[in-house]
């Protein structure tokens, strides 16, 4: 079946602009995760949704970052007033049980 | 701070050679995952280990978790150019609190030259 999809693939924006990243999880996967991968660094956890439970937002680096998920479907990650340090690959993953399956990521470049 | 240490950071081998990548944690691992990432792509799931002493193989890749569940190794036999990429280990439950999120090592960059 179809894997996790993310859009856009690439995004270039100017400092101070807002951006919205989208993730379509694998159908039937109740859990959805967002991670960030900055150049030369490991993956950083951002936020985790599990069913109808309150999301785990403990990884969000600042209040400029927010995410929403509608039921067990699409999620959007919004970054307000982008900064150059927000430049990274944003990866989304979904899971039904333990194993997380990742999307191709969105490459964000903030100029 | 880094939860998982991977070694080596980079590895260059000739096609046909065997190689090993290590992933070490200072705390007990409850679930250890190996992923492969190619430039510009997402992470591809390879294997998951949960039990001490567990070993799994897929094609020419073998992953092991030690008895103490603090170290895992990924071994590639007779490497091929298609094995090139970044190998990442991820673990859950290190902090024994939040379920779901994975903690990752920084990755090992593997280059295989013909």
Q: What is the pLDDT of residue B39?
A: 77
For residues A103 and A24, give the distance between their C-alpha atoms in angstroms, rounded to a whole number: 9
Instruction: Determine whether the interchain pair A105/B42 forms a contact, defined as Cβ–Cβ distance below 8 Å.
Output: yes
Instruction: Determine whether the interchain pair A33/B104 forms a contact, defined as Cβ–Cβ distance below 8 Å.
Output: no
Cis omega (within 30 of 0) on the bond before B8? yes
Q: What is the pLDDT of residue A103?
A: 95
Instruction: Determine whether the interchain pair B88/A43 forms a contact, defined as Cβ–Cβ distance below 8 Å.
Output: yes
Picking from A2-11, A29-38, A47-56, A101-110, which range would have the lowest pLDDT averaged per residue? A47-56
How many other CB atoms are found less than 10 A from the CB of residue A92? 28
CA angle A55, A14, A39 (to 5 degrees): 65
Instruction: Determine whether the interchain pair B44/A59 forms a contact, defined as Cβ–Cβ distance below 8 Å.
Output: no
Residues B27-72 have pLDDT tens digits of: 888 889 999 998 777 899 999 998 889 999 999 999 999 988 889 9
Domain ranges across chain A: 5-110
Under the banding of pLDDT at 50, 70 and 90, the label for residue A89 is: very high
Helix and strand tally (H, E) in chain A?
0, 10
User: Measured between CB atoms, which of A50, A102, A107 is closest to B43?
Assistant: A102
Report the residue of chain A nearest B45, measured CA to CA. A101
- Is A45 within 8 Å of A33 (Cβ atoms)? yes
Under the banding of pLDDT at 50, 70 and 90, the label for residue A1 is: low
User: Measured between CB atoms, which of A42, A58, A99 is closest to B98?
Assistant: A58
Under the banding of pLDDT at 50, 70 and 90, the label for residue B93 is: low
Please give the distance of CA A43 from its chain centroid, rounded to a whole number: 12
Instruction: Determine whether the interchain pair B105/A42 forms a contact, defined as Cβ–Cβ distance below 8 Å.
Output: yes
B35 contact partners, CB below 8 Å, separation of at least 6: A102, B43, B44, B45, B46, B87, B88, B89, B90
Q: In this structure, which topology does domain A5-110 adopt according to CATH?
A: Immunoglobulin-like (2.60.40)
Map out the domains of chain B with their CATH numbers.
4-113 (2.60.40.10)
Average pLDDT, rounded, for chain A:
93
Report the residue of chain A nearest B38, measured CA to CA. A104
């Amino acid at each position: 079946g179809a894997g996790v999809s993310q859009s856009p693939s690439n995004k270039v924006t100017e400092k101070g602009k807002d951006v919205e990243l989208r993730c379509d999880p694998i159908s039937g996967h109740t859990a959805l995760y967002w991670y960030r991968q900055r150049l030369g660094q490991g993956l950083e956890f951002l936020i985790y949704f599990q069913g109808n439970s309150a999301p785990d937002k403990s990884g969000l680096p600042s209040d400029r970052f927010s995410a929403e998920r509608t039921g067990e479907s699409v999620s959007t990650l919004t970054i307000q007033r982008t900064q150059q340090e927000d430049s990274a690959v944003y990866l989304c993953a979904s899971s039904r049980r333990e194993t997380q399956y990742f999307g191709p990521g969105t490459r964000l470049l903030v100029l | 701070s880094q939860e998982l240490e991977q070694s080596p950071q980079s590895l260059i081998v000739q096609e046909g050679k065997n190689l090993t990548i290590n992933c070490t944690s200072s705390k007990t691992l409850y679930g250890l995952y190996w992923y492969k990432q190619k430039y510009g792509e997402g992470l591809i799931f390879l294997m998951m280990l949960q039990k001490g002493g567990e070993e799994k193989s897929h094609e020419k890749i073998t992953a092991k978790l030690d008895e103490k569940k603090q170290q895992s190794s990924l071994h590639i036999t007779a490497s091929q150019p298609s094995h090139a990429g970044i190998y990442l280990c991820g673990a859950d439950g290190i902090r024994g609190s939040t379920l779901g999120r994975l903690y990752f090592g920084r990755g090992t960059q593997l280059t295989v030259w013909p």
